[in-house]
């Protein structure tokens, strides 16, 4: 998990779906590119990919082709920086949303193929950093502890685990940390928590974070640092197509919260 050309690989993960992981990672990574960094963003949620829909792209080649050895990563990714008006590169790679391709990833349990696919992506990751001169590579991972969820996390230097303030999320996240995240610590990765969709923004728009006492208690229960708290805003949560609020609606309270989070992540990495 060394750094290619001193670049950093950052994975966003969650115990289960519905935490707002994809919305946050797209907004944070785009902010990095807006600030002049060369950024990669890969849809590694192979079981439920969504970045192609989010960016409204119909790629002819996808990450699945890289894993199967049928395409090079440089033929799969697109630099969306120019069309989005970002200062740095914003190199995005999509996964297949076709049911047959998702089923194949889900059902293909041949160990030899899986190991070869992991090696292919490790080589692809190295190529991304070298060919596109990336400063940061963001991986949007599958929730839970399935094969590709765990392996995508193993390729990252920094892991950010998203959860919501519910008993189910807290308990499931804590259990997953104990079962797999501590193993990543032993091989040099670092992980942090992000509390997302925090209630209260509708009732009090000025509330951008819960009280510190609450955060301290969460950190005690979870055994890890909570580095960000992003409120839930109805116009973002229920937008038919939220698209890079942090870039396109920079004064929105959600965007301000994401900027604070991005700055915190940058300080940690």
What digits encode the pLDDT tens for the residues 25-34? 999 999 999 9
When computed from its CA atoms, the radius of gyration of the chain, rounded to whole angstroms, is 18
Supply the pLDDT for residue 242. Answer: 85
Both tokens assigned to 269: 């990495």
Identify which of 5, 45, 47 has the alpha carbon closest to the alpha carbon of residue 25.
45
Q: How far is it, in rounded angstroms, from Cα 245 to Cα 254? A: 8
- Across the beta sheet with 158-163, what order do the strands follow? 78-79, 90-93, 39-44, 136-141, 8-14, 158-163, 190-198, 226-231
> What is the dihedral angle through the alpha carbons of 12, 210, 31, 234, rounded to the nearest 10 degrees?
90
| CATH number for the segment(s) 4-268 | 3.40.50.300
Structural domain boundaries in the chain: 4-268
Q: Flag whether pLDDT at 76 surpasses 90.
A: yes
Q: Other CB atoms closer than 10 Å to residue 12's CB: what's the count?
A: 28
With a cut of 70, say whether residue 200 has pLDDT above it: no
pLDDT at 206: 52
Which tokens belong to 255? 């965007």
**Burial class, 262, CB count within 10 angstroms (exposed 0-12 / middle 13-18 / buried 19+):** buried
At 169-194, the pLDDT tens digits run: 999 999 999 888 988 888 889 999 99
- Class of residue 167 by CB neighbours under 10 A (exposed 0-12, middle 13-18, buried 19+): exposed
- Amino acid 140: pLDDT: 97
* Contact by Cβ (8 Å): 113, 105: no
In the predicted model, what is the mean pLDDT of the chain? 90
Percent of the chain with pLDDT over 90: 71
pLDDT band at 198; cut points 50, 70, 90: confident
Contact 52, 97 (CB under 8 A): yes
The arithmetic mean of pLDDT across residues 198-218, rounded, is 64
- pLDDT of residue 203 exceeding 50, the answer is no
pTM of the model: 0.92
Contact 9, 156 (CB under 8 A): yes
């Amino acid at each position: 998990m060394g750094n290619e050309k001193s670049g950093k690989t950052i994975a966003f993960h969650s115990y289960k779906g519905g935490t707002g992981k994809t919305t946050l990672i797209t907004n944070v990574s785009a902010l990095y590119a807006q600030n002049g960094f060369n950024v990669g963003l890969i849809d590694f949620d192979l079981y439920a990919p969504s970045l192609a829909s989010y960016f409204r792209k119909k790629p002819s080649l996808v990450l699945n082709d890289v894993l199967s050895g049928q395409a090079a990563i440089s033929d799969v990714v697109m630099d969306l920086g120019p069309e989005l008006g970002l200062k740095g590169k914003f190199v995005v790679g999509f996964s297949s949303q076709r049911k047959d391709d998702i089923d194949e990833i889900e059902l293909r349990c041949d160990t030899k193929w899986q190991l070869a696919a992991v090696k292919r992506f490790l080589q692809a990751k190295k190529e991304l950093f070298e060919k596109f001169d990336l400063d940061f590579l963001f991986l949007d991972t599958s929730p839970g502890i399935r094969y590709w969820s765990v392996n995508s996390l193993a390729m990252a230097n920094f892991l950010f685990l998203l959860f919501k303030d519910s008993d189910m999320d807290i308990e499931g996240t804590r259990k997953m940390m104990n079962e797999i995240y501590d193993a990543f610590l032993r091989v040099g990765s670092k992980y942090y928590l992000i509390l997302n969709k925090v209630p209260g923004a509708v009732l009090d728009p000025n509330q951008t974070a819960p009280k510190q006492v609450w955060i301290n208690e969460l950190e005690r229960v979870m055994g890890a640092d909570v580095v960000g708290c992003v409120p839930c805003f109805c116009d973002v949560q229920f937008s038919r197509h939220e698209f890079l609020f942090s870039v396109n609606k920079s004064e929105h309270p959600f965007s301000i919260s994401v900027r604070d989070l991005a700055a915190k992540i940058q300080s940690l990495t």
